[in-house]
Structure 1
Amino acid sequence: MNVLIVHESMFGNTHQIASAVAEGMRQGGADGDVRVVHVDDAPTAIADDVGLLLVGGPTHGFSMTRPQTRQDAATKGATPAREGVREWIATVAPRPGLPVVTFDTRVHVKMLPGSAASAAAKALRHRGFDRAERGETFWVEDVAGPVVEGELDRAREWGVKLAARVSHGVS
């Protein structure tokens, strides 16, 4: 079964996490192709041979990015996507029954609510991806990063767990 990992990354942190998850899935024996695709290059129709879709992005303003938050990030040196995960979800053709798991990156601040992963899972379910669920949050030290020490290892471990889940048909 093929896996597609669609991610949005402006400072490179979410891309690092997406790549580490893909490495973990390969190490965990995911059979099939595990592709990491930036949201700018993501398909709006998920191929029939994709058996698991992962969607990840940074948390901005307690949720997925918006044009204003991407512009603000650009003023801080980011390279924003043309459109974010939010806009991609609004255009992707739904595939009922396809397992979808979301993830996000964010600065670790105590008691700070909101998560791009939660918002993306809800938006995907609303779009028609009835098996969308919230996955993991991965921590960055500051808006521009870097990824907190140990989080890339944790992302690889999560990828191994996802590969086992998929190979046992539990997705």
Structure 2
Amino acid sequence: MRVVIVYESLFGNTRQVAEAIGEGVRESRPDAEINCLRVAEADPERVGPADLLVVGGPTHMRGMTSGLSRKMGLKAEKNEKKEGEKKEDAQETRHEPEEGAEGPGLRDWFHALPKTGKGPHAAAFDTRADFRMAGGAAPAIARRLKGHGYQLAAEPEGFIIEDAEGPLREGELDRARAWGAALD
């Protein structure tokens, strides 16, 4: 079984979840070939032959990220970092954007993803805050996967972060491993 996990991650939380999902798949299918790829690395040649495609990203403005929301999030981080540098007594830990975070997002990636006629399996996940009306990116990711001809192997899943930039809530990586292990 060939599994490709494609993720978009700004501050590392979604990457950690993607890696944990891969670990879960490996636990349930030790013979599986698993590739965990940042969205910028996930060209159609690497994704096409997958038996299971798992796609995930962070939630911005109650849904999938957009070019604007990604720029706003990264710009806000840079501004907050500058403010923090001005305050010598600032004790708050800031999360740095990951290397490659300013690259393409899932919306752009889906435009380049070819439709599949054979109906391979796919699954969608996101990282999101746990507050009323937070929304989630996973349902939109799942709709796009189905629109490209994939059959969903599981209901879209959200993994909780404590703040806009993380960290992940305690136990979420274990939950991600279990979710990955249950994917068929």
Identity within the alignment, %: 38
For 1:94, the equivalent position in structure 2 comes to 115
Distance 1:124 1:87, change over 3 A: same
SS of 1:118's partner is helix
For 1:56, the equivalent position in structure 2 comes to 56
CA offset at residue 121 of structure 1? 1.2
Q: Which has the larger radius of gyration?
A: 2
SS of 2:128's partner is strand
Provide runs of 4+ in structure 1 moved above 6 Å.
none
5+ residue gaps, structure 1, are 167-171
Distance 1:9 1:59, change over 3 A: same
Alignment RMSD (CA, Å):
1.6
Which stretch shifts more, 31-40 or 4-13?
A: 31-40
Q: Which amino acid aligns with 1:94?
A: K
CA offset at residue 94 of structure 1? 1.5
For 1:22, the equivalent position in structure 2 comes to 22
CA offset at residue 130 of structure 1? 4.0
Give, in whole Å, the separation in 2 of the partners of 1:78 and 1:69. 14
Count of paired positions: 160
- Is 1:119 the equivalent of 2:140? yes
Alignment TM-score, normalising by the size of structure 1 = 0.87
Give, in whole Å, the separation in 1 of the partners of 2:64 and 2:135. 9
Distance 1:30 1:51, change over 3 A: farther
- Give matches, 1:140-155, under 5 Å: 140-155=161-176
SS of 2:51's partner is strand
For 1:160, the equivalent position in structure 2 comes to 181
For 2:42, the equivalent position in structure 1 comes to 42
Give, in whole Å, the separation in 1 of the partners of 2:107 and 2:39. 10
For 1:131, the equivalent position in structure 2 comes to 151
Give, in whole Å, the separation in 2 of the partners of 1:9 and 1:134. 21
Give, in whole Å, the separation in 2 of the partners of 1:72 and 1:44. 28
Query: In 2, are the aligned partners of 1:100 and 1:129 still within 8 Å (CA)?
Result: no
5+ residue gaps, structure 2, are 78-95
Give, in whole Å, the separation in 1 of the partners of 2:107 and 2:155. 15
Which stretch shifts more, 89-98 or 34-43?
A: 89-98
For 1:103, the equivalent position in structure 2 comes to 125
Give, in whole Å, the separation in 1 of the partners of 2:19 and 2:142. 20
For 2:90, the equivalent position in structure 1 comes to none
Give, in whole Å, the separation in 1 of the partners of 2:48 and 2:112. 15
